[in-house]
Chain A
């Protein structure tokens, strides 16, 4: 157990809908990163939040957005869902002084029909 919790665990949506995924970071961790893992692929970096500010973004369109709250929990929002958005969405938390190690939550499996 990493102490990083994600909700929901599974979600089914239809194309064009919007979805919000949630993540609670491990106690003491002030940085949250989101990754998308398609079937048979490695995780791909979506974006990172550090002290409530976006701190880097991968190659994902603007319809992927996020928030980080004062307690360091985070949300990932995806608008106008597409079939290719079907994937495992992983949240990872980290803290300064931990040697850049990421601790992943159990993920949210999103299916877009």
Chain B
């Protein structure tokens, strides 16, 4: 079982729709969770962090965490073509130390 699993996609949504990206992780003791956006040929950019169960909203982005189910998700409201990118889920394993374990990423395509 991979430590952090994501559907590779591509996930296609129409402009203005809600995009829902999902991630599961295997280390039950993980405490910190991150979503990074990566445009083709560029480096990852941190867009959301979440540490507690529930929802965390930042503009059009909402991160959701359910530690009991070992599940973290990212919702993007009012999706724009500029949101088209690969979204990487990253988990800080037990013991932390700023060493992230990444999923393989989900490619999102927002269509006009």
Q: How many residue pairs at the A-B interface have CB separations less than 8 Å?
A: 58
Whether A42 and B42, one on each chain, are in contact in the complex, defined by CB atoms closer than 8 angstroms, is: no
Q: Which residue of A lies closest to B101 (CB)?
A: A45
Choose one: A35, A40, A42, A105; the contact of B103 (CB below 8 Å).
Answer: A42
A4–chain B nearest beta-carbon distance, Å? 9
In the complex, what distance in Å separates the CA atom of A26 from the CA atom of B51? Answer: 24
A55-B97, A94-B98, A100-B98 given; A42·B4 CB < 8 A: yes
Whether B97 and A104, one on each chain, are in contact in the complex, defined by CB atoms closer than 8 angstroms, is: no
Q: Quick check: is A111 within 8 A (CB to CB) of the other chain?
A: no
Q: Mark B12-54, 1 if CB is under 8 A from A, else 0.
A: 0000000000000000000010100000001111100101000
Q: Which residue of A lies closest to B96 (CB)?
A: A100
Whether B105 and A42, one on each chain, are in contact in the complex, defined by CB atoms closer than 8 angstroms, is: yes
Whether A90 and B44, one on each chain, are in contact in the complex, defined by CB atoms closer than 8 angstroms, is: yes
Q: Count of B residues near A, CB < 8 Å?
A: 24
Q: Is the interface of B mostly helix, strand, loop or mixed?
A: loop
Choose one: B34, B92, B97; the contact of A48 (CB below 8 Å).
Answer: B97
Q: Count of A residues near B, CB < 8 Å?
A: 25
B37–chain A nearest beta-carbon distance, Å? 11
In the complex, what distance in Å separates the CA atom of A45 from the CA atom of B4? Answer: 13
A99-B49, A104-B44, A105-B43 given; A45·B100 CB < 8 A: yes
Chain B residues numbered 40-97 whose CB sits less than 8 Å from any CB in chain A: 42-46, 49, 51, 88, 90, 92, 96-97
Q: Quick check: is A106 within 8 A (CB to CB) of the other chain?
A: yes
